[in-house]
Structures are given as C-alpha cells and as structure tokens.
Chain A
C-alpha cells in the first residue's frame, strides 16, 4: 500500500430531475486499496460507482483519476475508461461473441493490439479466472458465476489501473457467489485498486481496506472493516448492520 491517490472525489452532486441522489460526496482511494461501498438499496452507492466511470453525468463537484481532474467536456472519456475497468451486476457480456471474442474485443478494436497478441493475453486471463476451457463457447452456455468471471477477464484485458464492481454477485445463485468473490480476492491480493459495491459483508470484512457506508445519498461512515463491524461510530450504521445481520 502506498500514498498514490488513484481516485479523488470532491463535493460530488448528482440528481435525476428533482431527485437528489448524491449529496456532497468526498472520498479518496489510494493505490492498491480495496474500498467496499455498502448501504441499503437506493442509498446512492451504485450511482456513485457509475459516476466514477462517467456512465452518469454529475451535476457538481470534481473527480480526479490518478491526480488528474477529469471533466467530460475537456477530456477524452474513452481514454480514461481504458484505465478504469467496470464489472456489472448483470455481467453484460456480448451474447453474439464467444468468451474469447468478448475478451479480445476492446484490446483489438480500441487499443488496436494485434489479434495474435490479444488472443494470447486473453487466454492467460481466462486461465487466471479458470475458464480457459470455455474460450470458444457463447455466453448463453455459461452459469452466472462463469459469466461474471468472463466479465472480469474482459475488463482486465484492457489492463486497467482501477477496477469498479457494481454488485457483482447480486444476480448470482448463492452457490455461485463464492467463485466470483475468490477471483476478486485474488485480484485484490495482486494489488489491484478496487471499489466494490456489495452486499457481501463477509467479503467486505475480509478483503476491504476501507468500508464506506452510504445512506440517503451521503457517506455516513468510513472505517476500517473490524471497527466498522465491531464498533460502528454512527447510529445509522448500527441500525443498518443490525438489519443486515438479522435477515
């Protein structure tokens, strides 16, 4: 872990019409840190994550990636996105392409890497997520867990510095959650900077460096995992944890 600031969010605001979903968010993520965003549905955590990849337009505030302020007007968002990978709740694999084609699509079409090289790198990534034997099948043949691992490999193929995960296990059958979390943990152990929106409290406790609790569009508490779960500072955090543990 070091002091290099990978993401810096200052005074971020986001509204959908009159609905104010992010209220003055300030947050930093340093290199190799894993930050888990937790909170109830509708608390704004997914929206915050999507703002980091500029999938949502913000109404105010600043976002800097690796010390460089990014504004959609002045920057080429596409080149920023190449350094920030994103994994979605519903995988969003390209159904008309095989697993291998999914993984090489962006490297060959965006980065213009020669196809041979892209294929070699893709196979390494598929090996890493344990799906090399599925390289030539279409996504419709895969289980949810396998799809999500392919989606992770597809993101990694762009060699991002930061990975964003938007509820990566929420759409999975319970017995498939473990394989995806294991892949993510491996990635964290390798030093990838990660921001993870999750409901998996066990994963958050084990893997996260920081837990950020959101409620009603605000960051309520930012704490180390053990303190967060054992000695939460805020009343609302305590209520949330109680409700989560009871379910």
Chain B
C-alpha cells in the first residue's frame, strides 16, 4: 500500500491529467445518457403502443442489449463497422453506451408509465384528449417523476460503464489511471486516485438527481 503522503503527493501532481480525463468521462456519460433517454422513451412507447410489430421491435432491442456485454457492443461499433465506415472513438463509445443504457431506460419508463393509475388516462380521454395528447400532458410527466430514482441509478451505472471506453483508447479516467500506473510502476496509487474521482462524480450526480426529485415533488406536499 502506498503511504498517505505519497498518495496525496501523486494525487496533486497528476491532477491536470485526471481532470481532463474526468471531463471526458463526464462528457461521455452526459451525452450517452441524454441519447439513452431518447432511445429509452422511444422504445418504451413502442412497447406500450399496442401494435404487435412495434412491440416485437422493442422486445428485440431490449433482448439484444441485455443479452450481450457492453464491451462487445462498443467493439462492434468501433472495430466491427470499420470496414464500412469509421466512427470517431468518442461517438463509438457514446453511441454504444446510449444504445446500451437505452434498453434499461426503456424498461424503467415502461414500468413507470404502466404504474400510473388507469383512471388518469380515462379522465384525460373523457375530456376529449387524444391518446397521444393524454400521454404527453398527463401520463409522461407523472411517469417521469416516478422514473427519477431508478434513472439516477442508471446514470451512475452509465458513468462507471464509460470506463470501458478505455479499451478503444479513449483517454477517460480509467485509461489515464492505468497508463500512469504502468508508466510509473505504481498501479495501486493511481487506481486509488481514480477511485476517488469516480466517487466524487457519483456523489455529485446523486446530489443533482435528488435535487431534481425534490423540485418535482412540489405537487406531493
């Protein structure tokens, strides 16, 4: 184990590299989660569309994503398609992560949409609203609020999963820590340092989510 003063010293001297890497990790996470939410919402709506073909498409998507490792999905997007077209490493990682998270987010949205009392849709329809309008104005806002805690959880998973982008040579947090560790023959110190960065990012994310939850909870008070 490195001594605490050594750890602290290394932590400070490496901070510029790690902060750059943390920003890249954050960018990767935010972009992939935002796109993932769109994917998730889209496939959740397909699943509850009551149109068989669309349901199958949605089921197939969730099955493919949940049934294969994320690293395989990233490699397919980055290397697998390289003969046909070249995706920049950032977008290969971001899209693979979005595609991956989207499947889990789709299941989150589907669950929370279906958990909204049937009477809400009936009341909206009885007022002359179309199904789509009722979905947009009445069901989704309530479902989204209910989805926040599991979504927050998914964001944290997404943040940590972004470390797999190291394997397509992106200089995000994990890659920087292993590179510095092996260059300096000091793996343990740099691994502990990167763990601290992840913890801080997750703590910030957790705070943001709970802040958002509180803001949306106004109508419960």
List residues of A whose CB falls within 8 A of some B CB: 53, 55, 78-79, 81-82, 84-86, 88, 90, 92-98, 105-106, 109-111, 138-140, 151, 154-155, 158
CB 8 Å contact bits of B193-221 with A (1 = contact, 0 = none): 00000000000000000000000001111
B interface bracket (residues with beta carbon within 8 Å of A): 20 to 34
Closest to A95 in B: B219
In the bound complex, do residue A86 and residue B126 qualify as a contact, i.e. CB atoms below 8 Å apart? yes
Beyond the given pairs A55-B125, A78-B129, 15 more chain A to chain B contacts, judged by CB atoms under 8 angstroms and listed by A's residue number, are A81-B125, A82-B127, A88-B119, A90-B119, A92-B122, A92-B123, A93-B123, A94-B123, A94-B138, A95-B220, A105-B138, A106-B128, A109-B133, A110-B127, A138-B219
In the bound complex, do residue A81 and residue B126 qualify as a contact, i.e. CB atoms below 8 Å apart? yes
A159 smallest CB distance to B (angstroms): 11
Does chain A have a CB within 8 A of B27? no
In the bound complex, do residue A92 and residue B128 qualify as a contact, i.e. CB atoms below 8 Å apart? no
In the assembled complex, 11 residue pairs joining A and B whose CB atoms fall closer than 8 Å, in A order, are A53-B126, A55-B125, A92-B119, A96-B141, A96-B142, A96-B219, A106-B127, A106-B128, A110-B129, A140-B220, A155-B127
Contacts across chains A and B counted by CB atoms under 8 Å: 74
How far, in angstroms, from A55 to B120 measured CA to CA in the complex?
12
Q: 10 nearest interchain CB pairs? A: A92-B123, A106-B127, A82-B128, A92-B119, A86-B126, A138-B219, A81-B128, A110-B128, A78-B128, A96-B219
How far, in angstroms, from A92 to B121 measured CA to CA in the complex?
9
Does chain A have a CB within 8 A of B130? yes
A51 smallest CB distance to B (angstroms): 13
How far, in angstroms, from A205 to B127 measured CA to CA in the complex?
29
In the bound complex, do residue B141 and residue A158 qualify as a contact, i.e. CB atoms below 8 Å apart? no
How far, in angstroms, from A85 to B127 measured CA to CA in the complex?
7
Contact of A92 among B117, B129, B130, B220 (CB under 8 A): B117
Closest to A80 in B: B128
How far, in angstroms, from A179 to B72 measured CA to CA in the complex?
64
